[in-house]
Amino acid sequence: LAAAGPTSVAGPVTTTDGRRIAIVANIADAKDATRAAGVGAEGVGLLRTELTFLSAATEPTEADQRAGYAATMEPLRGLPITARTLDAGADKPVPFLDVAPEVNPALGVRGQRLFDEVAGDAAERSSTIGSGSADRAGVLDRQLAALVGGAADAGVPLKVMAPMISTADEARRFVARARAAGAEQVGVMIEVPAAVLNAPELLAEVDFVSVGTNDLTQYVFAADRQSGALAAFNDPWQPAVLRLLDQLCRAAEVTGTPVGVCGEAAADPALAVVLVGLGVTSLSAAASALPAVAARVGSVDLATARRAAAAAVGSPDVASARAAVRDLLG
Ligand code: PEP
Ligand code: MG
Q: What is the per-residue pLDDT for 98?
A: 73
**Cα(97)–Cα(133) distance, rounded to whole angstroms?**
7
Give how far Cα 185 sits from Cα of 43, 144, 150, 157, Å: 15, 12, 15, 9
Residue type, 198: N
Q: Can you name the residues that pair with 84 across neighbouring β-strands? A: 48, 161
Q: Is the CB of 286 under 6 A from ligand 1?
A: no
CA 9 from centre of chain: 20
Closest C-alpha to ligand 1, atom 4: 212
Question: Which sign does the torsion angle of CA 223, 228, 232, 235 carry?
Answer: positive
Question: Is 43 within 8 Å of 11 (Cβ atoms)?
Answer: no
Nearest atom in ligand 1 to 191's CA: 2
Q: Is the CB of 260 under 6 A from ligand 1?
A: no
Q: What is the per-residue pLDDT for 127?
A: 40
Residue type, 257: T
Which DSSP string corresponds to 198-239?
A: THHHHGGG-SEEEE-HHHHHHHHHT--TT-GGGTTTS-TT-H
CA 296 / ligand 1 centre spacing (Å)? 23
Q: 3-class DSSP state for residue 97?
A: helix
Nearest atom in ligand 1 to 210's CA: 5
Q: Which residues of the chain have pLDDT under 70?
A: 1-3, 118-134
Q: What is the per-residue pLDDT for 19?
A: 97
Q: 3-class DSSP state for residue 100?
A: coil
Burial 199-217 (b: 16+ CB within 10 A, else e): beebbebbbbbbbbbbbbb
**Reported pTM:** 0.94
Residues 6+ apart with CB under 8 A from 216: 190, 191, 192, 193, 196, 241, 244, 263
Residue 317, phi-psi category: left (phi > 0), alpha (psi -120 to 50), beta (remainder): beta
CB atoms within 10 A of CB 125: 14
**Cα(72)–Cα(229) distance, rounded to whole angstroms?**
36
Q: What is the per-residue pLDDT for 133?
A: 46
**178-200 residue pLDDT tens:** 999 999 999 999 999 999 999 99
Q: What is the per-residue pLDDT for 2?
A: 57
